[in-house]
Chain A
Amino acid sequence: MSDLFIKTIKEAVFLKPEWREKLLSFNDKITPEQEQKIIELVNNAREQYETAILNMNEESNAANKKYLKGMEDFFRHDVPAAMKKVEQKSQDKEEEELEGILTDLEKI
Chain B
Amino acid sequence: MTPAIPITEGFLDRLRKREPEALAEAVNDHARALYRAARALGFAEPEAEDLVQDVFITFLEKLDGFEGRSLLRTWLFGILHRKALERRRTSKIQDRTDAIEDVLESRFDERGNWSRPPADLERLFLSKELGEMIRNCMEGLPSNQREAFVLREVEGLETGEICELLDVSSTNFGVLIFRARTRLRECLELKGWSRS
Real binding pair: no
